[in-house]
Every structure is written in structure tokens, then in C-alpha cells.
Structure 1
Amino acid sequence: MAPRIVSSVSGSVPGSYRQELLVCQFTDMMNSKGLVWSGGNPFSFTLPVLLAQLSVAFLLSRTVYILLEPFKQSMLSAQLIAGIILGQSFFGRSNLSKQLFPPGGRLPLETLADFALLFHLFLLGIRVDPSMVKKTGRDAVAIGLTGFVLPFTLGIIAAFVVPHMMEFDGSIQESILRIVTINSLSSFPVITSLLADLNILNSDVGRTATLACSVNECCNYTVYALLTVMSSIIRHKQWYAMYYVAWATSLFVLYRYIARPWMLHVARHMPDGQPLKEIQFLSIMITTLMCGFFTELIGVPAGIGAFIFGMAIPDGPPVGSYLVQKIDTICTGLLLPAKFAVTGLNTDFFSIAANNSALIYSAVIILGYLGKFTGVLLSALYFQTPLRDAVSLALVMCCKGIIEVAIYIILKEDQMIDQEAYGLLLISMIVTTGIARPLLSFLYDPSRRYSSYQTNSVLYSNPKNDLRILVCVHSQDNVPTIISLLESSNPSRSMPISVFVLNLMELSGRAAAVLERNVYRGRLTSMRSRSEHIAKAFSYFAQKNEGVMSLQHFTSIAPYASMHMDICTIASDVMANILILPFHRVWEIDGTIGSNLPAIRTVNQNVITKAPCSVGILVDRGHIAGNLSILPGNTLFRITVLFLGGADDREALAYGSRMVGHPQIGLTLVWLRLWDHRKGFEEAPVNNVESSIDSDMISHFRANTIGYESVTYKEEMAKDAVGTTRVLRSLEEACDLCIVGRQHAPDSPLTLGLTDWSECPELGDIGDMLATSDFQFSLLVVRQRPPAGTGFSNRYTLQPLASSHGVVTN
């Protein structure tokens, strides 16, 4: 029997609202069965067509994204544009597109696309924290309300005024009300995704926008529900209004009294660091499908049910982050582009005519965007937000995303808006969001807050005040090392310290970033349990040093790409003199690299360039927190300060000088100098000033440490980098911790050529060499950010070197 060359036939038939396409499918044309070898057409079979459609949608969307990424465009915009390219507006009219997307091949694609959207909305629901609404302040409430009320009011006015100015089809009146409502929306999942994409989620603007859009979304959905009920009553379908209320009530009961308690129970009983059991994971997946099935039965899109069930799952670890990690890549990355391919196939921009209805739609949409921008801008300025930040916030709140697209599709499928309105909504969304994203990158720089801050350091601090140290903790393994370093800082009544512990966690399985002072109430999740363990360890250390040390705890949950913002924010708020960062490599006892965490390295690099205070990167090889720790008090902990000259080395010496007098610390200062320094070697005038400052500081240190047997001073001579390497290797004999500055004199023969093999530039030339496996001692690399306009004549410059054992005056 000759093989069939088609898998289906189609034709137009009258439908409920318009002419519909009727497709007759052959049931035995699912897969090609290898007929391609006998001259058959693979596009005549359902499965090959579906696989080709998915491949083309994915590859085209990724290609468009690569082209648009330099212009700060999102993956969503790229997927929409790719879908439009495949649709009737461009290649959808070609024969190749008709073969790739035949009438019989659209139904499987649309079904799979709706399946992908259902699980994507489920993941968005997981990331939502409904309790955030309770945390909003007056400014966020006002911004969220005005961002909804003003565009909604302007849209309603336009909906009633414009029709009196021109003739139009009366059937679009209800469509306009739907457009006005949806156009006033600033969706929480969309805004937080945008902020995370631009790496400003945990900035000042990002936090305000996150809270404001949660208020805006609550207002929007409330008004939309009321409009739906009123529309039902006006159409003389009171029973439908009651049906809608009963549906909403049943969903609330399901969420509040069944799904949420179940998910909280699962989260509480999950062992730390362990994934969900297979039966638990499959139960959640089946429940998601059942929620979609239930909402479909009552006439609501399946994605809404999945989204509501997603909100019942606690965001973040252990459950939320695990589900997002398990589902996100395959669902959002691979299958979701199919939804936008379908969206583009059903979009025909040539159907938008220059008629009165299109003008009315355009006027309502434009007024909505203008109203939202103006409302947010005025509210932000009222609460004394800087103008650039207020404009940036208004642009953020005007952006649209996946939630709005899903709503547009639902409205179009339910015939609540026509093809013209649908096309105009998509165009306005792509254009507005496409313009806003690069403008935000240009206008808003969160680091401006830190650049205007009066920077602090150890060297320039007032010895009468406490030394303020911000320590960053990525894991519980960092805790013993940092506590030992704090102990070596020698807190005393004459030199007290204030310690601020910032517990850093990656944002995973939730949408909103968190920066808060640690407060523990009730039963703890795995995330808070970890924070509590860290807090208890530092609190125990503070109790041992009561009266000479104060302690505060903070927690930051943020993406690694913008985590430095939280670190710099806390550093500026607490006026830290120095902040300590763990190195991104973890060393094993035998000296080999145990783990390498590039994301933490990115955090360190960003902090180094933007911190408002001095920064120390701590490389621990087990000497600080291991058997040679100073906490047990059984052995002398040997610390070497390596001094080559320059601001960073002076800061390192200022910090090292605080350790003088600690009964368990032996401090050695090694001054590495050019071998012909005593022969009258003349340097540039700037270097002469720097050399004079270095010499004076060394002299004051030596004068103020006379009589301390635990303090040793050495001078080493070298004429090039080879001599420097020889000196560094000699430190191995009697050093547990080396403290060195990050940068030294530029173009110095002592470091010339060392950068050719630099692996970690954030540690500087010397620090990078000492952090290799050739050396076994631990390392603290210090970088100073001196206050602008200060010099060595500052009255506080030398005092920290001797504040615990008498101040030398001139």
C-alpha cells in the first residue's frame, strides 16, 4: 500500500464566535516508521513535526536572544519576537512554515505549550511569598496604589470619553475595561524577574519595587474579580456571579487549610541538605496537575490553579528551591518557547487596521503606561526618593512579562478581546519593556550610594572608638576561621571591637531578596536553622568577650551577581572600618584544593571595587581554625605582616598592629625593600612622598612596640621579583598567617613580572602568589579605600598602631 503523504485534512466550519478550523487527523500517522528512506515526507507525521517545531522554536528564540542581549533585552522578549517571526506577520505565510506548522500539527504543539506554561506558572507561584504584603511600608503602599489607581482612572476616563468623540463598534466596550484593568498591573513575578535580570533585585529601587508591585497586584486582582462579578450580573447571569464567588472561596480553602499546612509539614520534616523523597516529589507534581484539572473544570485556565498551589509551597530551601532546580531547566528553558511560538503563530499584525477601534485601543494603552509612570514617579518623589531613582522605579513598574502575556492569551481565547487589541497589547509590551531595560541600566547605578559615603578604614579610624568589623559568612565552615581571626584582633577595654555578622545565602526558589536583622520566632526552616547555628557560635564568642565586644547579626538572601550590594549596604549603614570575605577556594588538610566556588569569587571581586571601607580576603588553609588556632591557648600563633609599601600595606600593618600584646600571638613585621635603597636611589616625587609615609609608619610601629618580646622586626632586601620570591619562601618556616596589602608601588622592580602568572587578580601580585599551593600558611589580603582628601598628617593615622600600649606624640 502506498504511504499517505498527509497526516490530516482541514477546512473551515462555523464556530461559537467565528469561523473555526476543523482538522481531521489520521490516527495511524503518529511516527514516520522510517518511511523517509523510501521517499516519504517526515512532516506528514505528528511526532517528527512536533520535535521539529520544538527544535526550531528553541533555536530561533536563543538566536534572537543572543542578538538582543547586548541591548539588555530579556529572554521573554526574545521568545516573543521569535514567535512573531514564525507567525503570520512574517514567515508564517511561506510554504516552509506551512509544512512546519500544518493545521494537524498545531494541536499537539499547543497542548505541550499549555503544559509548559502550567508548570512555569507553578514555579512562579513557588517563588511568591504572600506574607510580603504585611512587610510593606507607607512608601511602598503609596507607590503600589498610585501605580494602579492613576492608570486605571485615566483608562476608565478614556474608555467613556473617547467613544463619544468617534464612531466605534459597541462590542469593544467591555474589551476596553479588561484592557484598562490588565494594563494597570505590575506583576510581582514579572518585576522581580526583571530586577534579578538587571542585577538590582536587592538594591534600594529593587526592594521598593518588589514591595510596591505586591500591593499593585493585590489591587489589580481584586478589581478584576469585581469586574467579572459585575459583568455577570449585568448580563443577567446572577447564578454565574455566585458560581464565581464559590469558586474563589473553594480555592482559598484549598490553599489555606489543605495545601499550605501539608507543604509546611513536608518542609519541617525534611533533613538538612537532603532532597525530597521520590514519593513526595511525585505527589506534588500530581497535585499540580489535579489543581489545573480542577480549575479547567470550572472554566478557569489550568495555569491559575497551578499558580495558586505553587504559592502554598514555602519559598526558598528546602522544598521551594529543590522544586525550582528540578523543573525549571526542562520546563522553562526547553518547552516554554513553544508557548510563544504558538503565540506568534496566532498573531497577525497585518490585521491591525487604521480604524477607530484601533485608535481607541491605542489611546487606552498609552494612557495606561503614562498614568503608571506618572503615578509611581510622583509618589516616589513625595517620599524624597532621588530623581534618578524615582525615574528608574517608574520604569521598572511599567515593564510587563510572562504573566501579562498569559492573561492576554486567555482573554483572546475567551473572546474578551479581539485580534487587534491582542496585537496592540503585545506590541506595546515589547516596545515599552524593550526601551525601559536599557534605560534602567543607564540611569540606575546602586553603587552611587557607596561612592558618596565617607569611607572608613582601620588606619584612619579614631582609636578612642571601637573597631567596627563586618564579617561575611557563606557557610558554617567559615565560622571557626573568622572567630579565630576576630580573637586575634585582640579586643580589650582600650581597643574594643564591634562585630557585624552577615550570613550570605544564594537566592534560590524565591522571587524576592531578603536583607534583615536576624530574629528567630517559632519553628525554624532549614534556612533559618543554619542562620541560628551561625548566630549561636558568634554569640558564644561574644559572651566570652563581654564588655570588650558587641555583636549584631544580619542575613542576606540574594543572587550572587548582586550580593555585593547587600554587603556594601551593611558596611555603609554600620560604618564598618573593615570587612572580611572568605576566599572562594576551600583547602583540604593535605594542601590540595577541596572546592572552587566561582560565584563567591564574583562576589569578592565586586566588593573589592565598590566597598565603602577596607576589605580583607581571608584564605584559610586550616591554620586559623585548625589545630594551631589561637582559641585553645595551647600554642603560639605566628602572624607575619609583609610590608612592601603603599596604602594597602599600611592598612595591613594598622590591622596587624592591633594584635600586639595578645598573649597567644607572635607578630613579625617583614619590610621588603629594594636592595639599593640605602645608596641614595632617587625615585619620582610621588614615590618619595609614599616612601616617606611608609618609613614614618614603620618607625612609629617600632617605637611603640619596644619591650614586646612577641614582636619581631626584620628588613629584607631584594632587587627584583626573583628576590621577592626568595623572601616569600623564607616566610614558610615560621608563619601561620600572613597579612599583606593587595596593591603596592606601581611598576616596582619587586613585583615586576609577577602579574604574568596571576590567577586571582583580586588578591594582588603578592597575594596571588601566596594563595597558590606552593605555600601552606593562611593569608589575609587587605585592600584600603582611604577617605578622599586625607593624607598622612591626619591626627588619627598613627594612633591605632599604639592605642593599646601608649600613644607616641611628636
Structure 2
Amino acid sequence: MAEWFMGNEMSGTYESTTKGENICHNPHKMNSNGFWDATDIDDTFKFSVPLMAFQLSAVFFVSQIVAFLLRPFKQPAVVSQIIGGILLGPTLLGRVDSRIDPFRYSSFDSLASLSTLGFMFFQFLVGVKMDPSIIRTSGKKAMTIGILALVFPLVWATYSSILLRYLLDMDPTARRMVYYVGAANSMTEFPVIATLLTELKILNSELGRLALSSAMICDLSNTFVSLTTTSFKVGEGEILKSLWAILSCAAYVIVVVFIVRPALFWVIRNTPEGEPVKEIYIIIILVVAMISGIISVAIGQHVLLGPFILGLAIPDGPPLGSALVQRLDSIVSGLLVPLFLTTSGLRTNLKSITLTTKSLAMFVFMILLSLVAKFTATMLPCLYCKMPFRDSLSLSLIMNAKGIIEMLTYNTWMDNKVIDDEIFSIMVVTVVLAAGTISPIVGALYDPSRKYAGYRKRNILHSRRDAVLRIISCINEEENVPTTIKLLEISNASRESPIHVHVIHLLELVGRASPLLISHQLQRRTSSSPSRSESIINAFRYFEQQHKDVVNVQAFTAIAPIESMHEDICTLALDKGTSLIIIPFHKRLGANGTMDLGQNAMRNLNKNVLDRAPCSVAILIDRWNVGGSIHVLPMQAVYRVGMLFLGDADDREALAYANRMAEDPSVKLTVVRLIPSSGVHGLESERILDDMVVKDFRLNTMRNTGVEYREEVVRDGEHTASIILAMEEANDLILVGRRHSMDSPLVFGLSEWNEYPELGVIGDVLASSDIHNRVSILVVQQQAILD
């Protein structure tokens, strides 16, 4: 971390003066007697507790108001929090009237100490979320970018600072600071990059994974360099002292790796599957994190080094890593880190920037020089690896992102009297400008959904009858498995047209910063106490064994933020050339016959898949398996499948899937085509395609006694609803298309009660909560083809 270059002090003592006034309070007086006992209205705030409570409230509300005002400009949270502090500080509020400035008291050091403690736990969580093992699998591209993005700007900053000190006449402070200004802007910090990618919702995109791996390599390399530099600084030129400082750091790392980490694995082994980690273990770990900060200071390092290394030793993900993140993240990231950023803004005085000094021009030049050097160091390897120019440009901007770690560095320098108010304010403005411009520019440049645009036909309707049918099946929870397997079972896998199933178990990213897409080998020996993913894989392994030579299953586990989990699904569908993605509906039928409340996050995931998928998509509404075991599949001699055909592309795709199912001897298929009584409607080209597909279906099934086709003349949407009700009572599974023309008399009036737009009008009627039939529903959307 760059802040370790300048030593290990971070005093947290802030002096706040306004118009030459410094008003002190007695830190031993905690609570006042209120306004009624005060001679002046601000006497109440000369006591510690009400003062700090008022300062925290002011910081929170002002930063939230600024965030609301900046929302249309797509600004990251760090910008609003720093600007909120600037508005509350000497730049604005401190110059209006000293009597209304709640931060003029010398108690500001208490607020800063609290924010620094929060930052220590933030660094601890950064270590918990960071998975250094991904460096081994990051590839040469990420390794090259990560190392070059550190070494080239750092060397360039060193050379430029030496050249400037030789060419220009500078005062001693400026001569000392010119290198550190360049070096600080040469760093790429993993937490900053991870936060930016999360806010842009591209964390698990192809570019996001590359940026995250490169930033981790750069940050860990920077940490090693900083640790070594600080150790030599502690020695103050004495080799023996420096050697002892390095050895003490090595001893601390050895204790953490060989004593603390095995103890943490012992905690995990003694935590039953699915059970939370005991409260006492969490408390002990948090206490050890604070002690590790004390040890860091004792061995001459920064107070944040110990918690960071301890966090790296904690196994990420569930149960331990996710438990720590869930307990700490809301208070640390939601309150204490914003408090740190806002207090940094409070220290910023834009009035101190004179814009006339030679030193100011030199510092601005060094900042720009470092940013250009890092931009070049990232851009050139990307272009050499033949990355698209827009992606290369986006990655170069991402690696130049600034945020909370840079603010920590500048605060440390300010505390150590290395820089003055003017340089500190310039640095803060640099962070705000970098964070405020890079985020919206990258959001405009990089659109991960571009690669999913459909120029090739990847759907069931246009697949050859003798070709492999490739399906992606998404599983949210174990209860989705039986119905999904039954659907695959009646999809008529055969030697002429086998089915390749790619199963993805979807897990929310908790307790780690890096998303994962894990490929499982189904031939691996079954564990005696399988995890959730292993239980799902075992069920599909059994399904594959039952259908040898006609079914092939490959299992994956996707661990990613739900907001961007569709990237893993769509990317896998594109790579595997699948024709259909099956995703479960976000609600499930309960044992009492009613739909549960569901998860809105999973609903948004379904919507994202529908919008971006490079192939056809089907939403499966499960009403077969109600509280059943993952291994118990519903068994019956005949499965009654109904298909409601109104017309348009989605219905044609659903009919193609139903046509395939009809070839299975255990399936009895009923297709009902609805025809408006008012005559023809819609586009003539769509009607021609509908007639062609229906004609082909009837020719293919004319000798199949298990298929029934009939046409119903329908007056309006109410008549359509009555036919739907009759089909529900007569079938186990109903296939419908998702999208229909709203001008059609077949759906007239039905859209007024549309609760789930992602299911379409007919799918919404079938899934309505007032219908209690145990019939499952498959809502099909055909791939959108670009001309």
C-alpha cells in the first residue's frame, strides 16, 4: 500500500481553525444538561457525546444529499462523500459563520480516530475478500499488465522527479515531495478497482476479471515493495535496525501462516455444513485483528499492515470469510469508511490553492505524468494481445482509478507534516476528478452485452434434428433440481440427437472480492458429507448415469454478485454454443399451495438473462416438487404436456421444443392454437411464419398417437383465460411463448393484471397466485436475431 512509503504514523489528530479561532472542549465531560442549562446555544456541543453524535449525523445527511444530486451524473460514492466533507469544512461552511460550524472544535481528533479505526477494519476485510490464489490462474496477460502498471510508472516517476529536482530550483519540502507525489499516483489499489467494478456492475465480466487480477498482482507487489521500503526507513540508515525490522515482519507473517491460519481451518472444520460460525470465534478474530494493528506499529510498520495480512490468512467465502464480511461490512463500508472519506474532505481547504506557485505547477505536472505512464503501461500490453481498442481503453482508465486508499495516503502524509494544506487539497481534488470522470467514461465505453448480440441462430427452432441439443440449466437452490431433471428427461435425448447439459449452481458472492466460475469434474468420488453444490452435482451425475450415451452433463458453480451474475450465464452460453437457457422462476410453490414471496434479486437476474442472452431462454415455474427431496423425482407413466399457440416468434420456439418432447414415448402432447374470431391480425410476415411452423409440426406428428392438435376460435382475453384454466386442469406441464402483440384480441384485457412482465401476458396468468393446480409452466423466449 502506498501509504506505507511515508512511515507508520497516522496520528488522527486534526486541528480545525476558523478565522483564527480554535474552540476547545473538555474531553472528560461526556454529556451536557441540555439547552436549558446552557448560557449559549452551542454550549451543548462542548461535550463529547452530543458533539460527536451531531457531527456523525451532519456527515451522513450531507453526503447522502450530495449523492442524490450527483446520481444523474453516475458518480461513484467516493465522490459524494469527499465533496460532502469539503462542503462541511473550511472551504464553505467554516467560512460562513464560525458559530454554525460544528467541526471547529478540537474534538475533531475523536471523529478522525473513529474513522481511522473503521479504516483498519476495512483493510482487514480487504484481506478477507482478496484471494491471492487467483494469481496462479490469472494468465500471462494479467500478470504482465499488473507488473508493468506498477514498475513502469514508478520508474518513470523516479526518473522524472530526479530530473525536475536537477532542473528546477525548489524549496526542500517540494524537493522531498515531488517523488512521493509521482509514486502515489503510480499505484493501483485492489480495493479501489474492486469497488469501481462493483459499482459499474462489470465485476464478473471478461474485462472485470482481467482488471481485478491485474490490480491484485499490482497491489500485492506494491505491498511487498512498501513493506521493504518502510523497514529500511525504520532503520534510519543503520543496516542492523533495518534487518531486525525485516525479520520481525517475516516472523509476523510466519506466525499468521503457520499458527493462525491452521487455527482458522480448525474453526471451519468444526462448523457443521449450513450452520453459522459460533459467535465466540467471530469475536476472537476481531480482537486478534485489533491486536495485529498494535503489533504492526510495534515492529515499525503501518497500523493497517497487520490487519491486512491477517485478513489474507482467513479462508474467503463461506462459512468463515462470509460470516466476517456479513457482520462487519454494513457498519464498516456503510458508516465508518464514508466517515473517513468525509473527514478527509473536511480537512480540504480549496481556498489554500493559490494557482500561482511554481511548486503547484510542478506537482500537477508530476501527477499527470504518472497517470499517463500508467495509462501507457496498461494500454500497450492490451493492444499487443489484440484486445479491442474500446476494451483496452476502458482497462487503462480503470487501472488509473483513484479512491479511498489514495485518500489514506494523503492523510498520512498530512499527519506526518510531509505536505501542507495546499498540496493536500490538490491531491484531494485529483482523486475527485479521477473518480468522477473515469466511472462514467468506462460505463459509456464498455458494454459487456455487445458480445451477446445474436448474428447466428442459436435456438431450438433452427437447430438440426440430428444435432446435439445444448442446454444451460441454472439452479438457485436444491429444490429446483427434481423438476429441472424431469424437464430434461422428457426433452427426448437420443443417439441421433443427444443432449449436452451445462448445469450452473448460482451462489451469491459473499466474503470475497473476486468472482469465480468453477468447473466440476462429475467423475470425482462422492463425498461422505457433500456441500450444497456437491449435492446438486450428485443428482445430475445420477441423471447422466441413467441416460448413458445420450446425455452429457458438465457442472459449474458461479459465485458472483447477483447484479452481474447474468454475465457468467450468458458468457457460458456463448462459449458452449447453447440453444436454450433454463432459469427457475424466483418464486416457488409452498406446501400450502401458495407461491412464496420469492427473491427480488433473483427476479432481476432473470430479467437480465432475458435481455442479454445469446440464445433462447425459458423460465421454469416449478409446481411439481413441493418440499420433496433433491434425489426423489416424480415418477408416473405418462406426462401430459400442453402447448398454447397464439403466434409470433416465442410461440414458434415453444412449439419447436414441444415437438421434440412429443417424440418421447412417455409424453402425451396437446397443442391448442388460438384463432381470433375477428379475423386476421398482426404482421402478414409473422402469420406466414406461424402457418409454416404449425404445418411442419403437424406433418412431423401426424402418425404420433400421443399428440393432439386442435384450434379454438377466441373472442377476447376472457375467453383465452377460460381455455388456460381448462388446460391447467388437464396437464402436468404447459409451454407458452413469452411475448405477444398487445394489439391482439387474444390477449385483450389480460395485460391489466400483469404482475410479472418477465413471464409475458399468458405466462403471468398461468403463474398467478390464485391458481393452485400443481402444473408446472415453461415460458419460452426465442433468441433475438440481428439482421
TM-score normalised according to structure 2 size: 0.92
- Displacement of 1:434 in angstroms is 0.8
After superposition, give the CA deviation of every residue in 1:204-261 in whole Å (9 maximum; x if it has no partner): 110110111112113322333344355566x533344224312321231132112222
Structure 1 stretch displaced more, 315-324 or 171-180: 171-180
Note if 1:337 corresponds to 2:338. yes
Is the CA contact 2:717–2:749 (under 8 Å) kept in the aligned structure 1? Answer: yes
- Displacement of 1:192 in angstroms is 1.1
Is the CA contact 2:482–2:634 (under 8 Å) kept in the aligned structure 1? Answer: no
Residue number in structure 2 paired with 1:733? 729
> What is the distance in 2 between the residues matched to 1:31 and 1:525?
60
Q: 1:444 to 1:647 in 2, by over 3 A?
A: same
Q: 1:283 to 1:588 in 2, by over 3 A?
A: same
> What is the distance in 1 between the residues matched to 2:242 and 2:182?
21
Residue number in structure 2 paired with 1:210? 212
Note if 1:719 corresponds to 2:720. no
1:63 counterpart letter in structure 2 = I
Instruction: Please state whether the residue corresponding to 1:390 is helix, strand or coil.
Output: helix
Residue number in structure 1 paired with 2:4? none
Residue number in structure 1 paired with 2:290? 289
- Displacement of 1:625 in angstroms is 9.3
After superposition, give the CA deviation of every residue in 1:7-35 in whole Å (9 maximum; x if it has no partner): xxxxxx9x9xxxx9999753652101345
Residue number in structure 2 paired with 1:762? 758
Is the CA contact 1:472–1:582 (under 8 Å) kept in the aligned structure 2? Answer: yes
Q: 1:522 to 1:50 in 2, by over 3 A?
A: farther
Structure 1 stretch displaced more, 318-327 or 199-208: 318-327
Q: 1:405 to 1:522 in 2, by over 3 A?
A: farther
Residue number in structure 2 paired with 1:29? 29
2:676 counterpart letter in structure 1 = L
Instruction: Please state whether the residue corresponding to 2:745 is helix, strand or coil.
Output: coil
> What is the distance in 1 between the residues matched to 2:479 and 2:557?
17
Residue number in structure 2 paired with 1:806? none
Residue number in structure 1 paired with 2:560? 558
Q: 1:232 to 1:299 in 2, by over 3 A?
A: closer
Note if 1:699 corresponds to 2:695. yes
Percent identity of equivalent pairs: 38
2:489 corresponds, among 481, 487, 490, to 487
1:148 corresponds, among 142, 147, 150, to 150
2:199 corresponds, among 197, 200, 213, to 197
After superposition, give the CA deviation of every residue in 1:711-743 in whole Å (9 maximum; x if it has no partner): 222222211111111111111321111001111
1:414 corresponds, among 416, 433, 443, to 416
Is the CA contact 1:616–1:780 (under 8 Å) kept in the aligned structure 2? Answer: yes
> What is the distance in 2 between the residues matched to 1:666 and 1:752?
30
Residue number in structure 2 paired with 1:807? none
Q: 1:596 to 1:624 in 2, by over 3 A?
A: closer
Residue number in structure 1 paired with 2:182? 180
1:464 counterpart letter in structure 2 = D
- Displacement of 1:579 in angstroms is 0.6
Q: Give the 5 Å matches for 1:540-551.
A: 540-551=542-553
Q: Give the 5 Å matches for 1:10-89.
A: 26=26, 29-34=29-34, 36=36, 41-89=43-91
> What is the distance in 1 between the residues matched to 2:300 and 2:593?
64
Q: 1:136 to 1:779 in 2, by over 3 A?
A: same
2:726 counterpart letter in structure 1 = S
> What is the distance in 2 between the residues matched to 1:627 and 1:81?
54
Instruction: Please state whether the residue corresponding to 1:159 is helix, strand or coil.
Output: helix
Is the CA contact 1:587–1:595 (under 8 Å) kept in the aligned structure 2? Answer: no
Residue number in structure 2 paired with 1:753? 749
2:778 corresponds, among 772, 777, 780, to 780
- Displacement of 1:99 in angstroms is 4.8
Note if 1:357 corresponds to 2:359. yes
Q: 1:682 to 1:22 in 2, by over 3 A?
A: closer
Structure 1 stretch displaced more, 152-161 or 646-655: 152-161
- Displacement of 1:127 in angstroms is 0.9
Q: Give the 5 Å matches for 1:513-532.
A: 513-518=515-520, 529-532=531-534
2:701 counterpart letter in structure 1 = T
2:778 counterpart letter in structure 1 = L
After superposition, give the CA deviation of every residue in 1:334-377 in whole Å (9 maximum; x if it has no partner): 23333233322322233334323222222211111111111111
- Displacement of 1:594 in angstroms is 2.4
Is the CA contact 2:675–2:711 (under 8 Å) kept in the aligned structure 1? Answer: yes
Instruction: Please state whether the residue corresponding to 2:531 is helix, strand or coil.
Output: helix
Instruction: Please state whether the residue corresponding to 1:587 is helix, strand or coil.
Output: coil
> What is the distance in 2 between the residues matched to 1:281 and 1:751?
56
> What is the distance in 1 between the residues matched to 2:215 and 2:229?
21
Q: 1:174 to 1:97 in 2, by over 3 A?
A: farther
> What is the distance in 1 between the residues matched to 2:742 and 2:100?
66
Instruction: Please state whether the residue corresponding to 1:479 is helix, strand or coil.
Output: helix
Instruction: Please state whether the residue corresponding to 1:135 is helix, strand or coil.
Output: coil
Q: Give the 5 Å matches for 1:262-411.
A: 262-353=263-354, 354-411=356-413
1:487 counterpart letter in structure 2 = E
Contiguous gaps of at least 5 residues in structure 2:
1-12
After superposition, give the CA deviation of every residue in 1:13-62 in whole Å (9 maximum; x if it has no partner): 9x9xxxx9999753652101345356563112111101001100111111
Is the CA contact 2:124–2:310 (under 8 Å) kept in the aligned structure 1? Answer: yes
> What is the distance in 2 between the residues matched to 1:628 and 1:636?
22
Contiguous gaps of at least 5 residues in structure 1:
1-12, 790-810
> What is the distance in 1 between the residues matched to 2:543 and 2:92?
68
Residue number in structure 1 paired with 2:139? 137
- Displacement of 1:185 in angstroms is 1.2
- Displacement of 1:96 in angstroms is 4.4
Is the CA contact 2:24–2:105 (under 8 Å) kept in the aligned structure 1? Answer: no
> What is the distance in 1 between the residues matched to 2:712 and 2:221?
71
Q: 1:682 to 1:211 in 2, by over 3 A?
A: closer
> What is the distance in 1 between the residues matched to 2:451 and 2:755?
31
1:33 counterpart letter in structure 2 = N
Instruction: Please state whether the residue corresponding to 2:237 is helix, strand or coil.
Output: coil
Is the CA contact 1:459–1:650 (under 8 Å) kept in the aligned structure 2? Answer: yes
Q: 1:327 to 1:638 in 2, by over 3 A?
A: same
- Displacement of 1:628 in angstroms is 15
After superposition, give the CA deviation of every residue in 1:688-727 in whole Å (9 maximum; x if it has no partner): x322322232232222223323222222221111111111
After superposition, give the CA deviation of every residue in 1:370-425 in whole Å (9 maximum; x if it has no partner): 11111111111110100000000011100012122212222322334444433222
- Displacement of 1:576 in angstroms is 0.4
1:57 counterpart letter in structure 2 = V
Structure 1 stretch displaced more, 246-255 or 748-757: 246-255
- Displacement of 1:528 in angstroms is 8.7
1:778 counterpart letter in structure 2 = S
> What is the distance in 1 between the residues matched to 2:352 and 2:707?
84
Residue number in structure 1 paired with 2:538? 536
Structure 1 stretch displaced more, 335-344 or 60-69: 335-344
2:595 counterpart letter in structure 1 = I
Is the CA contact 1:488–1:630 (under 8 Å) kept in the aligned structure 2? Answer: no
Structure 1 stretch displaced more, 191-200 or 80-89: 80-89
Is the CA contact 2:591–2:627 (under 8 Å) kept in the aligned structure 1? Answer: no
Is the CA contact 2:234–2:245 (under 8 Å) kept in the aligned structure 1? Answer: no
TM-score normalised according to structure 1 size: 0.89
Residue number in structure 2 paired with 1:647? 649
> What is the distance in 1 between the residues matched to 2:309 and 2:450?
39
> What is the distance in 1 between the residues matched to 2:706 and 2:759?
28
Structure 1 stretch displaced more, 633-642 or 30-39: 30-39
Q: Which aligned runs of 4 or more in structure 1 are off by greater than 4 angstroms?
A: 20-25, 37-40, 96-99, 229-233, 519-528, 623-633
Structure 1 stretch displaced more, 161-170 or 691-700: 691-700
Is the CA contact 2:482–2:625 (under 8 Å) kept in the aligned structure 1? Answer: no
- Displacement of 1:439 in angstroms is 0.4
Structure 1 stretch displaced more, 458-467 or 328-337: 328-337
Q: 1:691 to 1:304 in 2, by over 3 A?
A: same
Residue number in structure 2 paired with 1:256? 257
2:760 counterpart letter in structure 1 = G
Is the CA contact 1:485–1:624 (under 8 Å) kept in the aligned structure 2? Answer: no
2:616 counterpart letter in structure 1 = S
Instruction: Please state whether the residue corresponding to 1:180 is helix, strand or coil.
Output: helix
> What is the distance in 1 between the residues matched to 2:764 and 2:165?
71
Q: Give the 5 Å matches for 1:503-522.
A: 503-518=505-520
> What is the distance in 2 between the residues matched to 1:523 and 1:53?
59
